Chain A
Amino acid sequence: EPEVTQTPSHQVTQMGQEVILRCVPISNHLYFYWYRQILGQKVEFLVSFYNNEISEKSEIFDDQFSVERPDGSNFTLKIRSTKLEDSAMYFCASPGGAANTGELFFGEGSRLTVL
């Protein structure tokens, strides 16, 4: 069973719509990361989240993006008003404990298609 589960696996949305992507760990992970990968390009860092606060964010992570841990276990990435260029695979990852301590567990990814 995967350490990190992401939902939905694929979402198609209209430009301008809000999208929420979810990440659920099995064990008690403290660190979370969101990354995205536009088709054919490299994986890019979006945001790191530690103990219910944003630790670091990239230039990509503008005001359209937000992260939350609404119930202490689920971990969400919200895109408020999607643009065509938001179409990508979004990955959630967690080191399973303190950052930089070992294996990094990735979710299977959520493919977002914006029309």
Chain B
Amino acid sequence: KNEVEQSPQNLTAQEGEFITINCSYSVGISALHWLQQHPGGGIVSLFMLSSGKKKHGRLIATINIQEKHSSLHITASHPRDSAVYICAVYNTDKLIFGTGTRLQVFP
């Protein structure tokens, strides 16, 4: 069983839709990252969370430490949001990655 599970694995949306991607983990963590990977392969950090909620533009990330669960929300989705979104948790001195959620937003 993966230590970091994401759902859904694939997500298709129409432009403007509200998107939610979920992440559950089974190990102790000190922090959680949401990352974005574009088709070219490059990875960009979106958020780092250790508690509560963060917002950046149309992106919102929340974490519930007790339930070992985090969500990434995208409001008013746009085709340029199409990418793979990865949840990764800090466990001791390493990051453990989820398998990613592939999002496609159509105009």
* Chain A residues packing against B (C-beta within 8 Å): 33, 35, 37, 42-45, 48, 50, 55-56, 58, 89, 91, 93, 99-100, 102-106, 108-109, 111
Complex CA distance for A99 and B98, rounded to whole angstroms: 20
Asked whether any CB of chain A lies closer than 8 Å to the CB of B72, the reply is no
Quick one: given A100-B30, A104-B33, are A45 and B45 in contact (CB under 8 Å)?
A: no
Asked whether any CB of chain A lies closer than 8 Å to the CB of B76, the reply is no
**Contact indicator B97/A42 (Cβ below 8 Å):** yes
Query: How many residues belonging to B are interface residues under a CB distance threshold of 8 Å?
Result: 23
**Contact indicator B94/A43 (Cβ below 8 Å):** no
**Contact indicator B95/A105 (Cβ below 8 Å):** no
Chief secondary structure at chain B's binding surface: strand
Q: How far is the CB of B77 from chain A (nearest CB, A)?
A: 23
Quick one: given A100-B31, A103-B48, are A45 and B41 in contact (CB under 8 Å)?
A: no
Complex CA distance for A105 and B45, rounded to whole angstroms: 7
Give residues of chain B (63-100) contacting chain A, Cβ–Cβ below 8 Å. 86, 88, 90, 92-100
**Contact indicator B45/A103 (Cβ below 8 Å):** yes
Q: How far is the CB of B4 from chain A (nearest CB, A)?
A: 9
The residue from A48, A100, A106 contacting B44, defined by CB atoms under 8 A apart: A106
Q: What 20 additional pairs, Cβ within 8 angstroms, besides A42-B97, A43-B88? A: A35-B97, A45-B97, A48-B94, A50-B93, A55-B93, A56-B93, A58-B94, A91-B43, A100-B48, A103-B45, A104-B33, A104-B45, A105-B45, A106-B35, A106-B42, A106-B43, A108-B42, A109-B41, A109-B42, A111-B41
Complex CA distance for A37 and B41, rounded to whole angstroms: 9
A55 cross-chain contacts in B, Cβ below 8 A: 93
A105 cross-chain contacts in B, Cβ below 8 A: 45
B95 cross-chain contacts in A, Cβ below 8 A: 33, 35, 45, 93, 104
Most interface-central of B41, B88, B96 (chain A CB within 10 A): B41
Complex CA distance for A33 and B96, rounded to whole angstroms: 12
